Amino acid sequence: MTRLRQALGRLVRPLRSRKVRVALATVVAAYAVDRGLNVREELILTIVSVGVAVILGIAHEDHGRTSAGTGSVET
């Protein structure tokens, strides 16, 4: 039971990061649109582009927070 809990903990630990959650949501949304709906390729590229922009925004925010010396970064 403890091995199962440790394995699940290792799988779930990266989800604490906002960047990982955004990346996962972006990939899932793009895959769902690609497989489930009959849409143009531009929509998939838009979803991925917005996901990348949000991830870059989070990274920029985190860098600003650490360079300002306001404490630890919440990823």
Q: What's the number of domains the chain is made of?
A: 1
Residue 58 lies in a domain: yes
Q: How confident is the model at residue 40 (pLDDT cuts 50, 70, 90)?
A: confident
pTM of model > 0.85: no
10 within a domain of the structure (yes/no): no
Rounded to whole angstroms, the Cα distance separating 74 from 66 reads 10
State pLDDT tens for residues 59-73: 999 888 888 776 555
Residue 73 lies in a domain: no
Domain with 60 in it: 15-67
The answer to whether residue 49 is domain-embedded is: yes
* Residue of 12 and 1 predicted with greater confidence: 12
Place of tokens 């979803």: 47
Whether residue 62 lies inside any domain: the answer is yes
Q: CB burial class (10 A; 0-12, 13-18, 19+) of residue 2?
A: exposed
Mean pLDDT of all residues in 50-66: 90
At 6, list the tokens. Answer: 């440790």
